[in-house]
Structure 1
């Protein structure tokens, strides 16, 4: 049996980015996905994601995003697809950590931005309504990623670099050792290293490796709201936006009318906890009720009933930081998990870091924030 250099399990954006980086470096790489591609059962589907350099007090993500932007541009060139559209991002809030930390962070890193008051915001974006005492920070470098095109571009370019992608093949067991066994629903493989980027299924696969992390899976309602006046919220007129403590201390984010004509995506950054294999049984009516009130209050030029409701899953870590680390007992089992609803935009850098770990290289960034060890008190190792 031939032995792969690395097998990557999970072909969402993080796994696809990792596999692409490995194949680009000439490594014999297999990328496995449990569902037939493309699919909408995980966390990486859909047409758009917000991307930004504004990260409040979490400055280490701003630093990573400074590298992510040019890496997305590289993928655009290699794939021949337009992936990024610049719209700017408006951070909205009153005294919260995100808006309080965003301005000095952007200033320190020389990132173009504007701090605006209520009257300036009403001149720029008269279609929104927020309290007069709010802070408004416009990250001019931000915009939207064409998520489905980004995912496809990574997978296609991975194959072009010699990678092997097999979908509709669920991983049943990981057998640790000097070489790692990977048993799927139809094959048994061997590899020098394995990278597990299995999204919500980390809660099911990792315990088989004697590793239970404090992760919870949330079902997110992806809501689209119809414009009362066509074109009012188009990407040429309206930015992406983020309010950290918008509804019961949970964040709300949104992006302009881009995916569906005349529909604006605005969502709550939270939802009911679910089992990833039965996510559609969850009751999310409370999310929609809260968002209807939010839209009526702050977006008077949108219809107050969602026109479309789709579903995504977040795999949340307690501190919302990622998990990028080696298994505590087996150095050739690498884990990327807990992306907490904000990992897509940083996927090029995540893929680079997981590749470095899989190839036993020193990581390019300080990994302290991403280590499993930080959960030592409430993780079963």
Structure 2
């Protein structure tokens, strides 16, 4: 069967791309090895932070702001609450690149940001205990995305627009010739005029079929929920957070609807093969002890571990994204290597992929995310 566009990987970026392509009238097929949203990749675990004043660099701010606008649009179209305006508290040493980037990007783009000393942070949020050496940068307009519900919303709209979705189907072969793309799975062969590759930790193997050797490193990550005092940590009072500490870089979420306080570690992790079973949470001793150590230092009012989960990051060497057209095939768009901070951008990345396929260019500046930098 022939389509205008085939999207390989219908998770965060791919499902958004499927929505924007189908909305534009393109006959779209999405193919995924699982049934998104699912717990096999990088998008599960209920929640993701969306930050606007961006510690990873000012180049991300315009995309973050556009992404927020598109998430707000998705809420209006679906009537679902997908974004919780909890605010985001970024903590670290004042002179680190992460904190300085947050401060400078807030000034460059006139973003609301409160810079608080440790005493001010501890007073405002009694669930936090910051030592004197840290400061807090609070973004009142940032917050939390319900990641799996976001993907479900884009899927529902894409299918309503006529997009087809083939689930639990692994791609075995990709061929590009004469502006035509052919893909083969175990059971089917499909063709299209154009292709999007957005398969997370599996992107490397798919791109190798297109003669690209991209330095992508899938790593195992863990996160967990802890019992807490509702008065201290509920999402109406307590923000999502990102802490860059001397022990490591941690992030987390307030208690949402009784779920508990969710905490994960952003740095570190073990390189994995995504096609092999990943060790579950707790199978490595450090899974729980690492998070408990963080909470003991900075949020000592937390209580027992409830449960934990694993997911994957797909890291690039510089931990910046890859969003680009294939260097040889102008009808192939690529989105990969989101390095553990990509979900918030998936709405705008989906729009960008749609623009690249339809016109070969995008209104957004994606030059920092060129595949040729490797």
- The offset of 1:57, in angstroms, is 5.6
What TM-score, normalized by structure 1, do the two folds share?
0.93
Root-mean-square deviation over aligned CA pairs: 1.6
Gaps of 5+ in 1: 376-381
The alignment status of 1:348 with 2:308, answered yes or no, reads: no
Q: Counterparts of 1:163 and 1:176 in 2: how far apart (Å)?
A: 22
The alignment status of 1:264 with 2:251, answered yes or no, reads: no
Partner residue in 2 for 1:213: 214
- The offset of 1:118, in angstroms, is 1.7
Partner residue in 1 for 2:253: 255
Q: Counterparts of 1:206 and 1:92 in 2: how far apart (Å)?
A: 37
Secondary structure (helix, strand or coil) at the match of 1:221 reads: strand
Within-5 A mapping of 1:110-129: 110-129=110-129
Partner residue in 1 for 2:275: 277
Q: Counterparts of 1:366 and 1:4 in 2: how far apart (Å)?
A: 28
Within-5 A mapping of 1:228-377: 229-247=229-247, 250-258=248-256, 261=258, 263-269=260-266, 270-281=268-279, 284-303=284-303, 306-375=305-374
Partner residue in 1 for 2:72: 73
Instruction: Say if 1:221 and 1:284, in contact at 8 Å, map to a contact too.
Output: no
Q: Cα gap change, 1:57/1:33 in structure 2, threshold over 3 Å: closer, same or farther?
A: closer
Q: Counterparts of 1:355 and 1:255 in 2: how far apart (Å)?
A: 31
Q: Deviations over 1:306-346 (max 9, x none)?
A: 32111111101111111111222222222110011111101
Q: Counterparts of 1:205 and 1:63 in 2: how far apart (Å)?
A: 30
Moved more, 33-42 or 186-195: 33-42
Partner residue in 1 for 2:51: 52
Instruction: Say if 2:9 and 2:32, in contact at 8 Å, map to a contact too.
Output: yes
Gaps of 5+ in 2: none
- The offset of 1:262, in angstroms, is 5.2
Q: Counterparts of 2:244 and 2:30 in 1: how far apart (Å)?
A: 35
Q: Deviations over 1:100-119 (max 9, x none)?
A: 12112112212111111122
Secondary structure (helix, strand or coil) at the match of 1:148 reads: helix
Partner residue in 2 for 1:202: 203
Work out the number of aligned pairs and report it.
369
Partner residue in 2 for 1:84: 83
Secondary structure (helix, strand or coil) at the match of 1:209 reads: coil
Partner residue in 2 for 1:223: 224
Q: Counterparts of 2:62 and 2:372 in 1: how far apart (Å)?
A: 23
Secondary structure (helix, strand or coil) at the match of 1:92 reads: strand
